[in-house]
Structure 1
């Protein structure tokens, strides 16, 4: 299975990275010559026949990405572009854990020099992102969050219905954009969260135009601990399945809880527990009257290798 697709990539160096258990195959393509098909990406990300990963990230100069020449011209400082693919080979706009792993990979490859406290601009299909190196990990400004169906949400704080596998009825949800689509369901207790069957994609109605990740979230009781709001989350990622972590999903989950519980709107610092650990989410007012979303957490490279020819 996939032998032909992998043979076509023989000799290609790779790294394996993860950020709170959200794992990626990392490829460096400084000349922009590596052409990847959906099947090749799927082969590399397969956990039995390939390297294994929730997705694949290719490092390529922004100016060499077809369709993003204007982004490169307008933001020349965003030299590197995060070409992100889901494990099924489909293209995704952004990955919050992935962008942290991407910057860590660029540093480890010697492609950038970034000291603690310094910020690097990254090109992506969701626009230019700012990533700051911390003493432990990275903080990525993922930009403004927003409502995918604002008119419906303004009426009753929900805009969608979600039915997980095995459930007879759907439950209300809120669809959030973080540059990529998310639909967030609030559950009443952690037992219900733990018992969810996320092997199959939950049914969502209406479905955002480009599909959606689905997050299930349980606020802590009490919500605040030492000035930080606490929530737990599980996620089914579009084109992947359940993952141990989703960075943009953690941001969407915190944004949805804030929006639905209007009394929590002034809570700007959140701690999100996912199966792979914890990430931080912070909301900061920007000059455009909206809110930027800052995601912070660790990133690690765990292996390196070369794709074989057998």
Structure 2
């Protein structure tokens, strides 16, 4: 069963060949959104991308070259920014005297300790972390073990924009995103961690399935892999992480059509799939949505 944790992990911050269509006619995860003569590009990001997936599909680079402004979800702090990293760590950790293990059953606590031991880590070293922080750490360690770790599409273009001195804008503040992540798993830590542990063995398969869906611009597969299970198992988190943010972002996006510049909007691919997708919201507002195809002129 597709449970909450694995879909949250791959959605936030995405192995089966059935998801792969022929690359000669494959669609991409890049769309041209237009109204009259005005247009912007909207593209889906994978936040963890193996180095072997570079270079990116041509559609991404074409959209980037035509854009005056790169728009990202938020300004992710650099690892060298010690102040920002400390703020993130503090926000995603419990206050003094509060621990994750105190919220877990004896059985789940033991299972977590056994899993961390596989990475030569101890729960006592991580006991102050909130559920989301711990889940991201474990996911990263597991994907690294499978040699699937790498910088995300958004990170790749952020570096490119800095090199090219291209303007970069953001849809959210770092503080806003951290507050969202702080709430993930906080209502039932035991259930969250238990679900996390039961899904570790399927991380690789789920990730590869999402990666294939992303490469082919298959938003139906993204919906089935991430959003539909999230809606079923935790509709409140779906509302908070996906639906409400899409609605808020819609206002920002519409403003991009009022200037003379061209934007490339890059957001997590899950935001472009499902019944509440950004693309669907824009279409309902009268914008013309065109998915770019590989090799299309």
TM-score with structure 2 setting the length: 0.25
If asked which structure has higher relative contact order (CA below 8 Å, sep 6+), I would say 2
Higher-helix-fraction structure: 2
TM-score with structure 1 setting the length: 0.25
Higher-strand-fraction structure: 1
